């Protein structure tokens, strides 16, 4: 805790120093008619680009394969914050090491700093198992209907920052929202095709609770909601029990998480003469490579649903 506070303090102090002493590092906001947006995660970057189009230039801090639970700010982030007209993060405990820093810098520069997922009604948030009383699970983008709240919040933030172009942001949002709605319906239909007893999603880290609730599939993950702690031997044993008892045919690894936990589960099941397949790669906290299907928010959901449905014996519905 002490080291984190020191780090945040040092980072903010450095930021003030830079603003105060370096005339060459002037914030560049509003000089080119383009909104410079800093987004923590790719899911926010992608939605912002869909709604903002050519009117925004989005810098993402935690790119492909970067784990947001563990991320601490690096020096180049400072420059991004100095040039930002808008700072967008997900919130709900996701960017655990970053939230204080962003809010302090945003406040000191008078730049809107918005936790886009925190507009989701509290009643729709799930508990953060092991996260302490009153804390909620941050992995809300797993439910496309919930991530629509974030999209709405991004639209509202862009409109407030650049009201002259409100009409464009609103029209782009409306078009994107209908894609979100269509994908949501497709995901429900596709997951429903998995035979009842096999509708069980086993992964390493617990990033799919919202996904499971929205798309009606039971979720089991030994590692917990944050990746800060690794799964213990006992956690793996519990997972193996779950796999064997429920006759789970396939389990999944996540792109940004070491595969060890999943391999340990497969070996554990095999030792009990239950053969479980490696079902494929899911994108949990970070999207895929830019320029690929999984490198977009819609594509990441499409990919995950397809991999899960195919590995668990369902039939993927016709894409909208």
The nearer residue to Zn ion, 285 or 294, going by C-beta atoms, is 285
Site string for Zn ion, 41-80 (x = CB under 5 A): ----------------------------------------
Secondary structure of residue 233 in the 3-state scheme: helix
Q: How far is the CB of 69 from Zn ion (least distance, A)?
A: 5
- Nearest to Zn ion of 105, 207 (CB atom): 207
Best CA proximity match to 105, nearest among 43, 19, 34: 19
Distance CA 265, CA 132 (A): 27
Choose, by CB under 5 A, the member of 137, 285, 294, 302 that binds Zn ion. Answer: 285
Sign for the pseudo-dihedral over CA of 117, 118, 124, 129: positive
Q: Kindly state the number of chain residues that form the binding site for Zn ion, as judged by CB under 5 A.
A: 2
Which residue lies nearer to Zn ion by CB, 222 or 314? 222
- Residue ranges in 79-98 that form contacts with Zn ion under rule CB under 5 A: none
| Minimum separation from the CB atom of position 94 to Zn ion (A) | 7
Between the CA of residue 48 and those of 8, 142, 291, 296, 318, what are the distances in Å?
27, 17, 16, 11, 27
What does DSSP assign to residue 173?
H
Beta carbon of residue 245, minimum distance to Zn ion (angstroms, whole number): 26
Nearer to Zn ion, 128 or 173 (CB): 128
Strand (E) positions, the chain? 35-41, 56-62, 86-89, 113-115, 200-202, 218-220, 250-254, 277-282
Tell the burial category of 178 from Cβ atoms under 10 Å away from its Cβ (0-12, 13-18, 19+). exposed
Could you say which residues in the range 193-222 bind Zn ion, by CB under 5 A?
207
Which residue's CB is nearer to Zn ion, number 144 or number 158?
144
Residues that bind Zn ion (CB under 5 A): 207, 285
């Amino acid at each position: 805790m002490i080291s984190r506070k020191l780090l945040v303090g040092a980072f903010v102090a450095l930021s003030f120093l830079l603003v105060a002493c370096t005339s060459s590092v002037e914030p560049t906001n509003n000089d080119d008619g383009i909104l410079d947006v800093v987004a923590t995660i790719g899911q926010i970057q992608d939605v912002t680009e869909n709604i903002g189009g050519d009117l925004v230039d989005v810098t993402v801090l935690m790119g492909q394969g970067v784990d947001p639970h563990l991320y601490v700010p690096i020096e180049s982030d400072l420059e991004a914050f100095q040039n930002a007209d808008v700072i967008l993060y997900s919130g709900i405990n996701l960017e655990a090491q970053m939230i204080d820093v962003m809010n302090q810098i945003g406040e000191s520069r008078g730049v809107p700093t918005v936790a886009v997922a925190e507009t989701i009604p509290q009643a729709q948030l799930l508990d953060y198992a092991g996260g302490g009383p009153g804390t909620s699970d941050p992995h809300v983008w797993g439910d496309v209907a919930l991530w629509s709240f974030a999209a709405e919040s991004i639209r509202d933030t862009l409109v407030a920052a650049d009201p002259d172009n409100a009409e464009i942001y609103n029209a782009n949002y409306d078009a994107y929202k209908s894609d979100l709605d269509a994908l949501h319906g497709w995901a429900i239909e596709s997951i429903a095709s998995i035979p009842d007893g096999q509708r069980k999603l086993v992964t390493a880290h617990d990033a799919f609770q919202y996904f499971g609730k929205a798309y009606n599939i039971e979720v089991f993950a030994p590692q917990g909601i944050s990746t800060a702690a690794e799964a213990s031997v006992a956690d793996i044993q519990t997972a193996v029990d779950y796999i064997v008892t429920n006759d789970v045919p396939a389990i999944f690894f996540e792109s940004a998480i070491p595969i060890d936990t999943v391999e340990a589960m497969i070996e554990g099941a095999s030792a009990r003469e239950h053969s479980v397949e490696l079902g494929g790669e899911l994108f949990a906290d970070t999207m895929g490579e830019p320029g690929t299907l999984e490198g977009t928010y819609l594509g990441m959901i499409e990919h995950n649903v397809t991999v899960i449905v195919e590995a668990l014996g369902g039939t993927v519905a016709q894409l909208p």
